[in-house]
Amino acid sequence: MTIQALAKVNLGLRVLYRRPDNFHELRTVFQTISLADRLELEYRRRGGPSVELTCDRADLAGPENLAAQAAQRLLELTGSKGRVRLHLEKRIPVGAGLGGGSSDAAAVLRALGALLRPAVPREALFRLAGELGSDVPFFLVGGRALGLGRGTEVYPLADAGERWLVVVAPGILVSTAEAYRRLSPNLTTDAWNDKIDRFCSSVCVTEQGPAGGLAQDLRAGLGNDFEPVVFRMHPELETLKARLKRCGARPALLCGSGSAVFGLFADRRQAVRAHDSLDLEDGQCFVVKTVSRASYDARWRKWLKGPQPAG
C-alpha cells in the first residue's frame, strides 16, 4: 500500500498549565494541509513479528522512528506474527511543528490496522495513538478539529472552504522541551481562565453559519502562546512572521512550538506571490492548501481500497 501522511498547522494554540502527569493542558485548533510525506507499507502474515523501516533520510531510518514504533505496537497489540516493511520519503520538515512524525505514525496505524485480520477497531487505534504521541490521534481524524487535554482529545469541527497557505521552515531547530520550560513560569490560574474564555469565543466565531469556517479565521486570530518565548529565543522567526503579514497573510502564526511559520492567504495567487517574495537564504518554503476532513477521508478510502495482505 502507498499512502500519504499529511502535515498540520495549529490555527490557534493556548497553553494553560502543567498537569500532574507533567504534560501541559492545551487548547488548540488543528488543520490538515496538503504538504505530505510518502509512505510505502508492505505486510506479510508470516515471518515475524518484525518491523523494518527505511527512509530517504538515513538519520530517520530504523526502529526508533515513530512510524516503526506504531507498527511494532500494533503487532504486539494484536498478537500478529506478521512482517512489516516500511519505506518513508520525507517532505515535511523535521522538528518544525508540522506534525510530520505524528502523521507518519497515524498513517501506519490506519493502514496496517486495515490490513490485519481481523481489522483493528477504531477505538483501539485511538488508544494506541494517544500512547504514541499527543498529536497522533488528530491524524486519525484529519480536517479541522479541536484539540483538548494534552492534544489527544480530538473533536471534529465543521469543514470549511479550501484556503491557501505559505509554510516557511527555516533552518532552525527549536527545542519543544526548552520552549515549554520557558513558558511555564508565565502560566497562572487567572491567565488560563481568561485564555479559555477567549479561546472558546474565537472558536465560536469561526464556526458561525455559511460565512464561517476558515474565512472567519482571517479575522479571529486564535494566537499561539509559544510565540513570545520562541521569538525571544529566535528573533528571526518573528521577522518571518512579520514578512508574511506584510504579504497579506491573515493570520500568520508560529506552527506549534516552531520552528516553521505559516501564513493563511485569500487565494492561491496571493500565496504564490508571497512565496516568491520571501527569497529565503536557508530553509524551505511551500505553497499548500488546507485539506478538509471530507477530502482526507476520501483519500483514505482510495488508499485502502483493494489491498490484500501478502504471503
Q: Which residue is associated with the grid cell 486570530?
A: 221
CA distance linking residue 277 with residue 281, whole number of Å: 12
CA distance linking residue 153 with residue 169, whole number of Å: 27
- What dihedral angle (degrees, nearest 10) is formed by the CA atoms of 159, 161, 166, 167? 10
User: Which residues are catalytically annotated?
Assistant: 8, 135
Residue pair 225/219 in contact by the 8 Å Cβ criterion: no
b/e burial code for range 87-100 (CB count within 10 A of at least 16 → b): bbebebbebbbbbb
Strands 2-18 and 50-55: unpaired
Count the Cβ atoms, other than its own, within 10 Å of residue 39.
24
Contacts 24+ apart (CB under 8 A), 275-279: 275/166, 277/247, 278/166, 278/168, 278/240, 278/243, 278/244, 278/247
